[in-house]
Chain A
């Protein structure tokens, strides 16, 4: 059989291998759950004709911790530190998403100061998350012992600056538990804004370097252009959100289209790329970093005065009577639409959610794997998976 190296635009994920070529001597390669480049414990079964993928079957669930069920046994305020660990690359987003849903449910008003601070934190987290993504994506392309790790470590160096900012504010470098229902726990410290300015200036300068490293490197371009093309129709069909959707040319960003926090007070320039390949997704993320830098710079000095938290969170868990009801809140996490759907039961046990459902963008991104991988080579499978930026902690929960 002659091997066609150009990938089909949209492969059949349910391809019957008998239909493919009964004569073909296919090899089944099991990639993951323990593999250096599956971004955690993702597993995929690749049917290979030589080195070309004929069919890709994704398996998720190796990191299932039963978070949603656990949340049913915890009071509303106790849920925050648990969901921190979902998307372990951007914990700030998890906290915000879940607390936004609870605030909707309870009808709690968030003070303007807290909303501004949340916006700044969200954008800083986006920078940190995209930096980590750029590093690991390059690692997928270039290998841990070689050029890939160079950009990886550069990205981690800059990410440290953001984590230092978070540490100064919350005392934690990660898993902050800084958001609560009705506001934030930690107020801005003196000198924090200056620290933010210094960090984002460095990061902004470096993102230009990184963009040059990505776009002007011939090998990098060869490895990413035309690889893993998701057309706009498929992207919407699969429910892709975030950079994976915008990389396919769909102009959709919750920060602009359904403003939350203080995004209605700031201009968000949505970055899109038409190509839909790995390079497009990379460029969207790099530009988003720069966009986030701009938003942070605009907002960090103007955080309005006032209370940082509208509620006394300690009282809420035990003393507030919560009526039966439901709420859905979503925000634009670095990976896309991170939504939380919560149902509160009336009667006894009202301090805990009756049912909680998290909509992780990573799970939907992984759904694209069987559509876009066939036709590519094993090396590309790693690049494609990396470009989708899946976080298995979030996909499996």
Chain B
């Protein structure tokens, strides 16, 4: 009973906090990108445009939902909520602080990777149900990209698992608190694995330079071409949620999570997550996008082999450490 209560309470808190943070992450990105591009960004709604996310949400909710001709209405409706649910669910196993975790699963990493895989389904469902060629092409690309980048994502996420000897995120973080962050110790595998994990996360979350499923200059708006109002809003929200959670997972896997100098705790975790989050924005507003085949080449010719080697190196490091 207490387990259920714990889950519900944490779920509600984490869910609402994440959604709020995501809304203002959008504001932050708009301000940040505006500064990069010598613009001002939102300024009208509220002080320095702080109420812009609320205005955006209200606007999206008021919009009419349009169903394209011959669209599969049920699937068309189903795709957006799934996007949000899957990206929110990932947050359940993320340790925000020493004892702040909604569900301390033994297979936390596996759970996260499984959800990342599930995220492909709403993309495909949405693209297919739209009965639109641009959306279909985008969904096709999205599936190909998602399936390909799953591999380096899994392989690089396995490096901390091997090093810490556990799939539980809280154990991985505690291990790092004791033995040093994986990004620095043991030197090499952790750093490279983080690089690959970061790139693969960019691809999984469809961020530039890997945003070919969205690719608005080629495919109009990709999967979301036919979506209007809050249905589009859900896709939009899920994208940011997914990015935020990916940054959080990366912080937990490689940067020691809540552990930090002086006083360990939630603040360190938030700081690390936000630094990673901002760097994702930074990349997004700097680069142009890959072409689909170039994206695949990068994945299969570079990321997958390198991550395999790194995984081996991590295993060797663990063996040597134990032999000592």
- B is a partner of A: yes
Residues of A within 8 A of B (CB): 5, 27, 29-30, 35-37, 51, 138-150, 153-154, 157, 217, 219-220, 222-223, 377-382
Residues on the B chain within 8 Å of A147, using CB:
208-209, 284-289
CB pair B37–A150 under 8 Å, yes or no, is yes
Nearest 6 CB-CB pairings of A with B: A142-B288, A146-B208, A141-B288, A153-B37, A147-B287, A37-B217
Mark contacts of B280-313 with chain A using CB atoms, 8 A cut-off: 1 yes-contact digit, 0 otherwise.
Answer: 0000111111111110000000000000000000
CB pair B220–A219 under 8 Å, yes or no, is no
Q: Which residue, A141, A147, A149, A220, has most C-beta atoms of chain B within 10 A?
A: A147
Residues of B within 8 A of A (CB): 33, 36-39, 133-134, 137, 140-141, 208-209, 211-212, 214-220, 284-294
Q: How far is the CB of A141 from chain B (nearest CB, A)?
A: 4
Q: B219 touches which one: A141, A145, A378, A380 (CB < 8 A)?
A: A378
Residues on the A chain within 8 Å of B292, using CB:
51, 377, 379
Of chain B, the residue at the smallest CB distance from A136 is B217
CB pair B217–A382 under 8 Å, yes or no, is yes
Q: How far is the CB of B233 from chain A (nearest CB, A)?
A: 15
Residues on the A chain within 8 Å of B39, using CB:
153
Bound CA span A149–B141, Å: 23
Bound CA span A157–B36, Å: 13
CB pair A379–B215 under 8 Å, yes or no, is yes
| Given A153-B37, A153-B39, A378-B137, A146-B289 contact (CB < 8 Å) | yes
Q: Which residue, B38, B215, B288, B292, has most C-beta atoms of chain A within 10 A?
A: B288
Bound CA span A27–B140, Å: 13
Residues on the A chain within 8 Å of B137, using CB:
29, 51, 378
CB pair A148–B218 under 8 Å, yes or no, is no
Bound CA span A143–B220, Å: 10
Of chain B, the residue at the smallest CB distance from A222 is B294
Of chain A, the residue at the smallest CB distance from B36 is A150
12 A-B pairs besides A30-B133, A37-B218 with CB distance below 8 A are A27-B133, A51-B137, A51-B140, A142-B217, A142-B289, A143-B217, A146-B285, A146-B287, A147-B208, A147-B287, A223-B289, A378-B137
Bound CA span A29–B134, Å: 8
Q: List 8 A-B contacts (CB under 8 A).
A: A141-B288, A143-B211, A146-B208, A146-B289, A148-B217, A377-B291, A377-B293, A379-B212
Of chain B, the residue at the smallest CB distance from A35 is B220
Q: How far is the CB of B296 from chain A (nearest CB, A)?
A: 11
